[in-house]
Structure 1
Amino acid sequence: MSYAALLAAFLFMAIPLWLSYKQKLGISREMLNASIRAFVQLMIIGYIITFVFSIEAPILFSLIILVMILIAAKTCAKRGGSFNYSFQIAFTALLTAEMLSVSIWVLFDIVEYEAQYILPMSGMIIGSSMVAISLVFDRLKREFDLTKELIMGKLALGATNRQASQELIEATVKAALIPNVEAMKTIGLVQLPGMMTGAIIAGSSPVIAVKYQLVIVLTNFGNTALTAIIVCFLAYSSFFKQKMF
């Protein structure tokens, strides 16, 4: 595929960009900037990964994964400005999910600990978990603002901070998992996931492609739920420590 063909893909952005400009929606610049950043970042990481594959050094691609986690945690922390130690909370959740995922993949001989398998699979896991963490930070603050008086009433009746926050935590985790739950319900019926589609296009058997995609989907869903729960339990106490009542 030529670079001209890749640039032609930007034509798909022409209609929404025109509509945004015409209707004065104010998202044209953001859409264009996001598209250009995605193009540049993916091209750069493509060359970096090619280099990593060529030297086959586990320590090097492990460091790359760590950098990915750090960047994801920093991105999540922007949403968690209202919480104490938002970066540390996001980093802890992401690192826990990544270590658990890789351990299962390697221990059960799903894939070998090699860059060509671990890097792309980890990228999908980290990216999905990052979205869930951002949703948790955002929804947790909203839910707290809506239920503050109810929480105060429970505390006045002798409930602990954890007991008073039960509905808050429950609503937040459920909301953070909505995108993943809905995607799981329609997978294979409405959408064919990216990894599976790519493998089939590359010439792999559809059945083999489905098996690998199931590994990703199930690991992704489990870790998204895990990171959402970890972040929620580590973050909600900030409301009490900061005396936000």
Structure 2
Amino acid sequence: MEGAVGAVGDLDVVACSILATTLKESFQSPECRRLVGTFVPVALAVAVSHKLGIGFEGDILVSIFRSSIQLVGLGYALKFIFEGEKIYMCSFAILFMILVSGHTAGKRSKELPKSRMVATLSLAVGAAGTLALMLLLRVYEFKARYIVPTAGYVIGNSMSIVGTTLERLRHDIYVHQGQIELALALGATPAQAVHPYIRRAILQGMGPIVDSLKTVGLVSMPGSMTGMLMGGSSPLEAVQMQIQVLYMLLGASALSCLFACSLGWRVLFSKNFQLQFDDTRVLS
């Protein structure tokens, strides 16, 4: 019995020794040291929050933990998808991104009826339309390595644009119910009555991306271009890829905004073309 216990103890010592050696070798690698170094700004943010009594330390640490887990999971998922090169894998990944982003964008305008459905369909139309166009024009090869990251970039950025557009549309129609009902009484169709507010909503949603295009390369350097440069790509190659992604994002955002407004105003009208708002909902 004592011999068995001693053997188990020896195994524990050996296992701990192997683990310690592995960790030591890992921390000696340049990649690991660089990764650990990135946590210094995190510590700085936590220190500032604590010093000023903001009480944001917990949220910062939770967000760092979640983002780290999610990014590591994403890395393994992309590795699996890229190695498989199966159409159904790409489709599932894109569908998952659309569902999550649609849910998030819809939450921003939860006072709008069926907001999550409207946001999800709008993002799907924008992403699918632009991806299909880029593939037909042979801008991208039909490979998971190009399709999935590009779709993720486009859907992720379109998410906030669609959320902003829907919220502005709902807000303006709510505020101007009297004018809309007067226009309807004078013979205007619902589409004609809400047209000015659709224009405002699209301008609100598309404004930030148009402004960013005006200053890109002068004030800011996009993340994907930065990543390619740090990965060793030539500046001109990085610029070419960034232009493709940015212009694709512009087209996808325009399609998503247009579709979101087209569906958004319809869910606010009854079958008898009457505005239907729940007065118990809070006007933001």
TM-score under structure 2 normalisation? Answer: 0.78
- Structure-to-structure mapping, 1:49-60, within 5 angstroms: 49-60=78-89
The C-alpha deviation readout for 1:160-181, integer Å capped at 9, x for no partner, is 2211212211111111112201
Matched residues in 2 for 1:164 and 1:14: separation?
Answer: 53
Look up the match of 1:227.
256
Instruction: Check if 1:192 corresponds to 2:207.
Output: no
Structure 2 counterpart of 1:36, from 55, 62, 65? 65
Counterpart for residue 133 of structure 2: 104
Structure 1 unaligned spans of 5+? none
Structure 2 Cα separation of the partners of residues 101 and 117 of structure 1:
14
Name the residue aligned to 1:243: 276
1:214 to 243, 247, 251: 243
Separation in 2, partners of 1:21, 1:155: 56
Pick which of 92-101 and 6-15 moved more. Answer: 6-15
Equivalences for 1:74-153 in 2 at 5 Å?
Answer: 74-153=103-182
Q: Which has the higher Rg, Structure 1 or Structure 2?
A: 2
Give a deviation string over 1:142-176, Cα, whole Å, max 9, x none.
Answer: 22333233223323333222112122111111111
TM-score, length-normalised on structure 1? 0.89
8 Å contact kept, 2:126–2:254: no
Cα offset, 1:20, TM superposition:
4.1
Distance of 1:52 and 1:190 partners within structure 2? 35
1:3/1:144 CA distance change after superposition, 3 Å? farther
C-alpha separation between the residues in 1 aligned to 2:182 and 2:146? 51
Q: Which amino acid aligns with 1:108?
A: L
Asked whether 1:182 is paired with 2:211, we answer: yes
Preserved CA contact (<8 Å) 1:58 1:113: no
RMSD: 2.2
Query: Given that residues 125 and 259 in structure 2 are in contact (C-alpha distance below 8 angstroms), is that contact kept between their aligned partners in structure 1?
Result: no
Relative to structure 1, is the Cα distance of residues 156 and 11 closer, same or farther in structure 2, using a 3 angstrom cutoff? farther
Unaligned runs of 5+ in 2: 1-29, 280-284
Distance 1:128 1:152 in 2: 35
Which residue of 1 is the match for residue 9 of structure 2? Answer: none
2:188 alignment partner AA: A
Counterpart amino acid of residue 88 in structure 2: I
Moved over 3 A (4+): 1-5, 13-32
Q: What residue number does 2:74 align with? A: 45
Counterpart amino acid of residue 276 in structure 2: K
Deviation at 1:27, TM superposition (A): 4.7
Aligned residues: 245
Q: Deviations over 1:95-129 (max 9, x none)?
A: 22222222222222222111111111111011011
Cα distance change, pair 204–80 in 1 and its aligned pair in 2 (3 A): same
